[in-house]
Each structure stands twice: as structure tokens, then as C-alpha cells.
Structure 1
Amino acid sequence: MTTTTITFVRHGNTDHNLENRAQGHLNNSLNATGFQQAEAIAKRIAEESWDVFISSDLLRARQTAEIISQTLGMPITAYDARLREMDRGQVENTIEPERVARWGPNWKDLELGQESIESIRARGLDFINDTAVRYAGRKVLVVTHGFFLGQTLKALMQDESTGNHLKNTSVTTIAHKDDHWEYVLYDCVRHLDAGEPSDADRSSAKA
């Protein structure tokens, strides 16, 4: 039986990333670096053939996916809201000093409408399980978001030690083998000239 693989690409860099400003469901754009990163990952992705191409519907992911799509000459199969970043509620579009000024140093203990970790993981696993059935035996390319992906991988692999700091436009590939998922590649950014050393296999997959 042909192996099902899902390759996840985190979107390119944004000004919010640089500022550590909560993005959540904002439709904020890539910055100049992010567009360059998207071009770089597009060239790398074009070295392989793909059967299915799915993206988060948020702008920064869409922009990354559209650049990849143009380079591949392959349309985006679907935009899936399950791939969105964590919903940050009232915290969205703020940085830490602003949160402390607005809600005090214990703001994390308040009910500010943020999505729960359980909810993030549930929709991430739902996407993977659905994709594995719908596109069994195919190579699926996915553009998504860092915190969402990290939480999804923690749940999927039952490993809390990874998925904390996935890099912009990093590549993570999982394969479905013998009724379980395995890492093929984790948080790899070899396509970025100034990128940090890539984690080429699961043995070095510590975030």
C-alpha cells in the first residue's frame, strides 16, 4: 500500500512575528522577509511532485501558499479553517507590555476569549485524520501556522517535548505507516540561506 504523507509548511515571517505580537485570526500580511522566505520555500517544494495542496485561509498563510502555487504551477486544492492559528480572543494584536498594562501581570489567568489547547489539538487531529482518509496514499502539502502545528504534533505523536518554536517556512513531514504516524522531516529550513541548522530527522527533533 502506498504511504500517505503530509508535509506542513509554516507561513513566512510577519511584522507581528518580529514584535511578538499575538496574531491569532488576524488577516495580517507577510513582511518583506516573509515574501522572500515564501519564494525560497516555493523553489524547494517545486523539487517534488504533490497530489494535494491545502492551506489555512488566513492571509499570511494564503500569501505563502499562493507563491508556492505559482512556482509549482499547481492550484491550491482547498482553504481549510481548521488550519488556522490559535484564536487569541481579546489578546489578539497585543504584545506582553500592553497585556500587562490592560489586564495586569496575571492576565493569563483571566477569561479573555482565547482558544483552549484542547480545542487547537482537537481540530488539528481532525484535519489529519480526515486528510489521511480522504487522500489515502497521496502526498499532501499543507501551509499553516506555528503554534497550531506545534500543538497538533504534540497530540499526534504524544510527545510534549517538540513543537514549541517551529521556524517560519520550516518543513515538517509526517508519514502514515502501519497504523501510526512517523516523522520524516522536522522543522527543516535548509532552503533559507541564513537559516538555522535544520533538524533532518526525528532524532534531532527537539524544539
Structure 2
Amino acid sequence: MATIALIRHGSTSWNKEGRAQGSSNIPLDQDGINQARLLAGRLKSGQWNHIYSSGLERAKQTALLIADATGLNVHFDDRLKERSGGQIEGTTEAERIEKWGTGWRDVDLGIEAIEEVQKRGKDFLEEIYLRHQGENVLVVSHGALIQFNFIHLVADFPSTHFDNTSITILKKQDNRWTCELHNCTKHLERDNK
């Protein structure tokens, strides 16, 4: 059985502004760098064997800070990239309403289908599960990818929210995914700074 820790990247200026990031290559802001460093400090003492990451800058920066602390190499995989936002990338909710109206979600704006995000995420996780039996794997990705795959893989879970640099631990046993830790950000608590 493989243990997989899903990690959302650190914060960006666009997170704070409420802008859809999608596949835009936005870097971490200073808060995001600090969050990733605190996360790396937390993971340093763990028994981790591998790190996989989206190649988008915000996830890449987060993964490389973890790699520096753990001594592991980062393997980049395009299947971990964020859901493409099409024409909404870079916009806020207010800007979307102004441009396309309150029903903007019903307009074809080139946004990647949830089913496509779930398929590539599930394919990746199943491959990692089979490749790394008995190992502990860190996977650095993005909010929508983690959320849509979590909903798809873990049935009847009360929450699907994922904070920046949160850790969510999944295991698969008897052909069923379970969640052992959800959206944990204890490394960000004031006592740990």
C-alpha cells in the first residue's frame, strides 16, 4: 500500500486578489514562500520517498523548497497541473460577471471539463499507487485538481476545501481510497513560526 500526501501549493498574489489562476504560470508571493518553508520544515522529519509536482511555477517553487529540506528530487508531471480556466484566467468573480453576466458558468469559455481533470488526476494517482507500493509519496498540485479528484475518489467526505500548503493524506486499500488526514495546516499555526 502506498501513502500519498496531496499538497496544495503556497499562496500567490492572485489567490489574494481572487483571480482565477488555472494554467497561468503565477509564482508564489512572499507569504506563499514562507508557507512552503514552514511546510518543508514539517516534512523534513518525515519518512518520505518521492516528490511529484505540477510544473506550474507556484507548485514547482513549493515542491523545490520541500526537496531542499528533505533531500529528495522532484519529478514533474503535467497531469498535476491546475484545471485550465480558458478565458476566465486572470479575472475576478466581479470581472467575470461584468463581462459575461451572472450566468458566466453556463457560457463556453474554454474551461477544462471537470471529468478531464478527474481523469488525469485519477490516472496519475493510480499509477503512483502501483509504482510505489510500501512507500510514502508527496504530490504537490493545485486546489481544483485536488478538490475534483478528492470528490471522485473519497466517497461521502464532509469537506472538500483545501488551503494553501495543506496536507491531505490518502491511502488505497482493498480497492478503496480513504483519507487519513484532511486539509492539515498545523505547520502554519502561530506557535510553529
Q: Give TM class, smaller chain.
A: over 0.9
**TM-score normalised by length of structure 1:** 0.88
Mapping for residues 174-185 of structure 1, pairs under 5 Å:
174-185=170-181
The unaligned stretches of length 5 or more in structure 2 are none
Q: Residue 67 of structure 1 aligns to a residue in which SS?
A: helix
Match of 1:120 in 2: 117
What code does the residue aligned with 1:59 have?
E
Deviations 1:53-75 (A, max 9, x none): 10011000000001111111221
Match of 2:106 in 1: 109
- Say which structure, 1 or 2, has more relative contact order (CA 8 Å, 6+ apart): 2
User: Does the 8 Å CA contact 2:49/2:72 hold for their aligned counterparts?
Assistant: no
Match of 2:137 in 1: 140
User: 1:81 aligned to 2:68?
Assistant: no
Q: Matched residue pairs, number?
A: 191
What code does the residue aligned with 2:28 have?
L
User: 1:193 aligned to 2:189?
Assistant: yes
Instruction: Report sequence identity in percent.
Output: 39
Runs of 4+ aligned structure 1 residues displaced above 3 Å come to none
Q: Provide the rounded CA distance (Å) in 2 between the counterparts of 1:35 and 1:26.
A: 18
Per the TM alignment, residue 159 of structure 1 is displaced from its structure 2 partner at its CA by 3.1
- Cα RMSD (Å): 1.4
Per the TM alignment, residue 160 of structure 1 is displaced from its structure 2 partner at its CA by 6.5
Match of 2:25 in 1: 27
**TM-score normalised by length of structure 2:** 0.94
User: Does the 8 Å CA contact 1:40/1:192 hold for their aligned counterparts?
Assistant: yes
User: Does the 8 Å CA contact 1:150/1:162 hold for their aligned counterparts?
Assistant: no
Per the TM alignment, residue 91 of structure 1 is displaced from its structure 2 partner at its CA by 0.5
The unaligned stretches of length 5 or more in structure 1 are 196-207
